[in-house]
Structure 1
Amino acid sequence: MTTIIEAPTRTNDLQVRTDPAGKPLAIRHDGRIWLVDPDTESQHWFGRDAWWDTRRTAAVGSGDLVSIEYWQVQVRSGTHSALRTATLRRNPLSTHWLLDNISDADETTEEE
């Protein structure tokens, strides 16, 4: 079976619906709605931005400038569609989500 991995996408048309605790429930991207499968476990973690490379400056009390939030969720675009894995990322101090990748559920990829 050949798996086609979609290139990482960083567009403004990505919308993420979350529950009150911040867990993604649905993703709207490229004209499609992907529902997070409630029967699978989502992964949530934080990474660190290389702030020393960005040369970002901020006033004292500006907030967390280094924590990048990630969610990896299993999604479907319809009731009978194949399960896929989506990795979402939110950069420090951002309210907008980015789609790092989306692939077949049994494949995991990392951005190069």
Structure 2
Amino acid sequence: MSISTDAPAMTQNVQVRTDPTGKPLAIRHNGQIWLVDPDTESQHQPGADACRTTRRAASVRGGELDTIESWRVQARLGSTSALRTFTLRREPLSNQWGLENISDGG
């Protein structure tokens, strides 16, 4: 059984390469590969919306409520390019990532 409230449309689907723990390492966006900077701290919000004002999507599995997973990471195109902050979202039990926001710096 699934329960779903209106979830915000993700701005754009992106491909994300992760390490074995699920932490993003690289993001393919608009045909370019952005590498997550290992010298910056990634912010993970398991089971939380990236923004509290957004609506939520959830699924019920075995009596537990799973909500959207969110990551905020800093990435760059090359070693000399400026850092950009990516806010990524992924629904539970899905391999598809969505890009919610990109901003300059941290």
Interval of TM-score (by shorter of Structure 1 and Structure 2): 0.7 to 0.9
Written as runs of structure 1 = structure 2, the 5 A alignment for 1:1-112 is: 9-11=11-13, 14-45=14-45, 46-47=47-48, 49=56, 61=62, 66-106=66-106
Per the alignment, in what secondary structure is the counterpart of residue 47 of structure 1?
coil
- Residue ranges of structure 2 left out of the alignment (5+ in a row): 1-9, 50-55
In 2, the alpha carbon distance for the partners of 1:98 and 1:50 equals: 13
Could you list the runs of 5+ residues in structure 1 that have no partner in the other structure? 1-7, 107-112
Aligned-residue Cα RMSD (Å) equals: 2.3
Distance 1:29 1:70, change over 3 A: same
TM-score of the pair, normalised by structure 2: 0.73
Structure with max Cα Rg: 1
**In the TM superposition, what is the alpha-carbon distance from 1:9 to its structure 2 partner?**
2.6
TM superposition score normalised by structure 1 = 0.69
CA separation in 2, counterparts of 1:87 and 1:64? Answer: 25
Question: Are the counterparts in 2 of residues 64 and 92 from structure 1 also a CA contact under 8 Å?
Answer: no
Q: Is the 8 A contact 1:27 1:34 kept in 2?
A: yes
Looking at secondary structure, tell me which structure has more strand per residue: 2
Shift of 1:64: 5.4
Percent of aligned pairs sharing the same letter: 63
